[in-house]
Amino acid sequence: MDARLDMFGSPAASKVWKHVVAANNALRDSPLPHTTQELVKIRASQINGCGFCLDMHVKDALHAGETPERLHMVAAWREATCFTEAERAALEVAEQGTRIADGAGGVTDEAWAAAAAHHDEEQLAALVAVIAVINTFNRGNVMLRQPAGDYQPGQRF
Protein backbone atom coordinates (compact mmCIF):
# COMPACT_ATOMS: atom_id res chain seq x y z
CA MET A 1 0.00 0.00 0.00
CA ASP A 2 1.33 3.41 -0.95
CA ALA A 3 0.24 6.88 0.06
CA ARG A 4 -1.64 8.89 -2.53
CA LEU A 5 1.03 11.58 -2.49
CA ASP A 6 4.45 12.12 -0.95
CA MET A 7 3.82 15.21 1.16
CA PHE A 8 7.54 15.95 1.29
CA GLY A 9 8.09 15.23 -2.42
CA SER A 10 5.94 18.13 -3.57
CA PRO A 11 7.73 21.50 -3.45
CA ALA A 12 4.51 23.30 -2.52
CA ALA A 13 3.39 20.81 0.14
CA SER A 14 6.85 20.27 1.63
CA LYS A 15 7.15 23.99 2.45
CA VAL A 16 4.06 23.71 4.63
CA TRP A 17 4.75 20.29 6.17
CA LYS A 18 8.29 21.26 7.15
CA HIS A 19 6.75 23.99 9.33
CA VAL A 20 4.25 21.56 10.87
CA VAL A 21 7.12 19.17 11.68
CA ALA A 22 9.11 22.08 13.16
CA ALA A 23 6.11 23.03 15.33
CA ASN A 24 5.87 19.45 16.56
CA ASN A 25 9.60 19.36 17.30
CA ALA A 26 9.37 22.62 19.27
CA LEU A 27 6.78 21.02 21.55
CA ARG A 28 9.22 18.35 22.72
CA ASP A 29 10.89 20.93 24.95
CA SER A 30 7.64 22.35 26.29
CA PRO A 31 6.74 22.07 29.98
CA LEU A 32 3.82 19.72 29.18
CA PRO A 33 4.97 16.25 30.27
CA HIS A 34 6.04 14.02 27.39
CA THR A 35 3.72 11.25 28.61
CA THR A 36 0.74 13.60 28.45
CA GLN A 37 1.73 14.73 24.97
CA GLU A 38 1.84 11.14 23.72
CA LEU A 39 -1.48 10.22 25.35
CA VAL A 40 -3.14 13.25 23.74
CA LYS A 41 -1.64 12.43 20.34
CA ILE A 42 -2.83 8.84 20.61
CA ARG A 43 -6.37 9.83 21.60
CA ALA A 44 -6.75 12.43 18.83
CA SER A 45 -5.36 9.91 16.33
CA GLN A 46 -7.89 7.31 17.50
CA ILE A 47 -10.75 9.77 17.04
CA ASN A 48 -9.50 10.82 13.60
CA GLY A 49 -8.75 7.27 12.45
CA CYS A 50 -5.10 8.01 11.67
CA GLY A 51 -3.30 4.67 11.63
CA PHE A 52 0.05 6.23 10.76
CA CYS A 53 0.02 8.52 13.81
CA LEU A 54 -1.31 5.76 16.07
CA ASP A 55 1.52 3.49 14.98
CA MET A 56 4.09 6.22 15.60
CA HIS A 57 2.87 7.49 18.95
CA VAL A 58 2.08 4.13 20.51
CA LYS A 59 5.52 2.83 19.56
CA ASP A 60 7.26 6.02 20.74
CA ALA A 61 5.34 5.91 24.04
CA LEU A 62 6.28 2.26 24.61
CA HIS A 63 9.89 3.05 23.75
CA ALA A 64 9.85 5.91 26.30
CA GLY A 65 8.65 3.50 29.02
CA GLU A 66 4.87 3.84 28.88
CA THR A 67 3.05 0.66 29.87
CA PRO A 68 1.05 -1.40 27.39
CA GLU A 69 -1.84 -1.48 29.87
CA ARG A 70 -2.21 2.30 29.88
CA LEU A 71 -1.91 2.51 26.11
CA HIS A 72 -4.63 -0.11 25.71
CA MET A 73 -6.92 2.02 27.88
CA VAL A 74 -6.53 5.37 26.10
CA ALA A 75 -9.69 4.85 24.03
CA ALA A 76 -11.64 4.23 27.25
CA TRP A 77 -9.81 6.70 29.48
CA ARG A 78 -12.99 7.88 31.25
CA GLU A 79 -13.54 4.42 32.74
CA ALA A 80 -9.85 3.62 33.28
CA THR A 81 -8.30 4.11 36.69
CA CYS A 82 -4.71 4.15 35.43
CA PHE A 83 -4.56 7.83 34.43
CA THR A 84 -3.80 10.77 36.70
CA GLU A 85 -6.32 13.56 37.10
CA ALA A 86 -3.99 15.83 35.10
CA GLU A 87 -3.84 13.30 32.25
CA ARG A 88 -7.62 12.85 32.34
CA ALA A 89 -8.13 16.61 32.13
CA ALA A 90 -5.73 16.82 29.17
CA LEU A 91 -7.47 13.92 27.42
CA GLU A 92 -10.84 15.64 27.86
CA VAL A 93 -9.53 18.85 26.30
CA ALA A 94 -7.97 16.79 23.50
CA GLU A 95 -11.25 15.04 22.77
CA GLN A 96 -13.30 18.21 22.81
CA GLY A 97 -10.71 20.10 20.76
CA THR A 98 -10.56 17.29 18.20
CA ARG A 99 -14.35 16.91 17.91
CA ILE A 100 -15.10 20.57 17.09
CA ALA A 101 -16.63 19.55 13.75
CA ASP A 102 -19.04 17.20 15.54
CA GLY A 103 -21.01 20.19 16.75
CA ALA A 104 -19.61 19.99 20.25
CA GLY A 105 -18.90 23.73 20.27
CA GLY A 106 -15.25 23.45 21.19
CA VAL A 107 -13.80 23.00 24.65
CA THR A 108 -16.25 23.63 27.48
CA ASP A 109 -15.50 25.94 30.37
CA GLU A 110 -15.68 22.92 32.69
CA ALA A 111 -13.09 20.98 30.71
CA TRP A 112 -10.81 24.01 30.52
CA ALA A 113 -11.13 24.65 34.27
CA ALA A 114 -10.26 21.02 35.03
CA ALA A 115 -7.17 21.25 32.82
CA ALA A 116 -6.20 24.59 34.37
CA ALA A 117 -6.43 23.03 37.84
CA HIS A 118 -3.60 20.66 36.90
CA HIS A 119 -1.56 22.59 34.34
CA ASP A 120 0.01 26.04 34.44
CA GLU A 121 -0.44 28.55 31.63
CA GLU A 122 2.61 27.38 29.67
CA GLN A 123 1.50 23.77 29.91
CA LEU A 124 -2.00 24.75 28.74
CA ALA A 125 -0.50 26.64 25.81
CA ALA A 126 1.54 23.57 24.90
CA LEU A 127 -1.53 21.34 25.28
CA VAL A 128 -3.49 23.47 22.81
CA ALA A 129 -0.54 23.43 20.41
CA VAL A 130 -0.08 19.63 20.70
CA ILE A 131 -3.77 19.11 19.94
CA ALA A 132 -3.66 21.47 16.95
CA VAL A 133 -0.49 19.91 15.52
CA ILE A 134 -1.61 16.28 15.88
CA ASN A 135 -4.95 17.11 14.28
CA THR A 136 -3.07 18.67 11.37
CA PHE A 137 -0.93 15.56 10.96
CA ASN A 138 -3.99 13.28 11.33
CA ARG A 139 -5.94 15.07 8.65
CA GLY A 140 -3.06 15.10 6.18
CA ASN A 141 -2.22 11.44 6.74
CA VAL A 142 -5.85 10.31 6.51
CA MET A 143 -6.41 12.26 3.28
CA LEU A 144 -3.25 10.80 1.77
CA ARG A 145 -3.95 7.30 3.11
CA GLN A 146 -0.50 7.19 4.65
CA PRO A 147 0.30 3.51 5.33
CA ALA A 148 0.79 2.45 8.94
CA GLY A 149 2.78 -0.27 10.64
CA ASP A 150 6.38 0.27 9.56
CA TYR A 151 7.31 3.05 11.98
CA GLN A 152 10.34 2.41 14.21
CA PRO A 153 10.63 4.18 17.58
CA GLY A 154 12.59 7.40 17.35
CA GLN A 155 12.19 7.61 13.58
CA ARG A 156 11.15 11.12 12.61
CA PHE A 157 10.61 13.09 9.47
Residue 135: which CATH number?
1.20.1290.10
In tens, the pLDDT along 109-123 reads 999 999 999 999 999
User: How many structural domains comprise the chain?
Assistant: 1
Residue 10 lies in a domain: no
Nearest to residue 23, comparing CAs of 132, 156, 153?
132
Domain range holding 105?
26-144
In tens, the pLDDT along 44-100 reads 999 999 999 999 999 999 999 999 999 999 999 999 999 999 999 999 999 999 999
Residue 150 lies in a domain: no
